[in-house]
Amino acid sequence: MTVMEPFGARLRRAMDARGPLCVGIDPHASLLTEWGLNDDVAGLERFSRTVVEAVADRVAVLKPQSAFFERFGSRGLAVLERTVQEARAAGALVVMDAKRGDIGSTMAAYAEAFLHKDAPLFSDALTVSPYLGYGSLRPAVEQARESGAGLFVLALTSNPEGGEVQHAVRAGDGEGPGRNVGATILAHLAAENAGEEPLGSFGAVVGATLGDLSSYDLAINGPLLAPGVGAQGATPADLPRVFGAASGEVVPNVSRGVLRHGPDTGALRAASDRFAEEVRAALAVS
C-alpha cells in the first residue's frame, strides 16, 4: 500500500511554490444571488465549479465550507464530492471546513468520512473542534496520520464569542498557574508536531483579526490557518504584527474578498492573485 506523504510536508511545498493563500468556497445564498445564480443545486454547482476553474491551479489551498453544501441534502453533498475531487486534481490542497467534534466512535466516523483515503469526501485536512476535550480528537488524529492527512484545530478563533471559552483560564496543575484554553490547545498541537519536518500536519485555527498575540506560543511546528482577511477586516499587512515569529507558518484565508468578484473567472483569478501577492509581500515570501 502506498502511503501518502504527510500533509505538513505537502502543504509546505505548496506554500513555497504557490504562496500561502487559502481561498474559501462559501456558496451562501447571498453570494449566489450576487452572482446571478439561483439558490438551488444548479446554482451551487455552477458557483463551486467556477471557483475551482478560476483558482485551483494557482492557490495552495481551497477550503469549502461543508454547511453550504449540506443544506441541499444528498445532491449538495454530491456537488461537494465533485468540488473536492476537481480541486485536488488541479493541484490545490483541500481543507474541509466542517468543524467536526465529538467523542469515541462518532468522532471516528467523522474522521473516516473526511480523512480516510477511500472516502468520497477525502480531503487533505479537516477543521475540528476540541471543546469536548482535546483527547476527544484522538480518532481524527490517528486517522489523519494513517492517511497522510492533517487537522486544523480551533484554538483562537476570529469570532468575538469565542473568547468566553478560549480565554477561560484552567486551574493550575501544581507546577504553576493555569493556562487559558486557547494556549492549552496550542500546546497539545506542538506536542503532536514534535520532530516533524519540514512542517507538522496538525495546525491551529488562529484569527487574523485578533491583534497582538505575543502572549501566546504560536510556535507549534505546524500551520496556522488564519481566517479574517478581507471582509472581516484584517489585511495581509496585519499578519506579521499578529503572528510575529510564526508568520512563516501562516495560511491566511480569504473568502468573500475573492468570491465577490465572480462569476467572471478572470476577475476571480485576478483577485486571488492580488491577495496572494499582498500576502507574499507582507510575509516576505520570495
Domain of 115, CATH number, reads: 3.20.20.70
Which residues lie below 8 Å from residue 265, measured CB to CB, with a gap of 6+? 50, 53, 54
The widest CA-to-CA distance across the chain, in whole angstroms, is 60
Mean pLDDT confidence for 107-119: 98
Q: Is 195 exposed, middle or buried (0-12, 13-18, 19+ CB in 10 A)?
A: exposed
Q: Is 176 exposed, middle or buried (0-12, 13-18, 19+ CB in 10 A)?
A: exposed
* 168 occurs within a structural domain: no
Q: Does the residue 173 lie in any domain?
A: no
Structural domain that includes position 11: 7-162+196-282
Q: What percent of the chain has pLDDT over 90?
A: 90
- DSSP letter string, 72-96: THHHHHHHHHHHHHHHHHTT-EEEE
pLDDT, tens digit, for every residue of 67-89? 999 999 999 999 999 999 999 99
Decide if 123 is inside a domain.
Answer: yes
pLDDT tens digit string along 196-234?
999 999 999 999 999 999 999 999 999 999 999 977 788
Instruction: Tell me, yes or no, whether 29 lies in a domain.
Output: yes
The total number of structural domains in the chain stands at 1
Instruction: Supply the residues annotated as catalytic.
Output: 99
Q: Closest Cα partner for 251 from 238, 233, 234, 239?
A: 239
Q: Measured in Å, how far apart are the chain's first and last C-alpha atoms?
A: 37
pLDDT band at 266 (very low <50, low <70, confident <90, very high): very high
On the question of pLDDT at 173 being above 80, the answer is no
Residue closest to 163 by CA, chosen among 183, 141, 189, 190: 183
pLDDT more than 70, % of the chain: 96
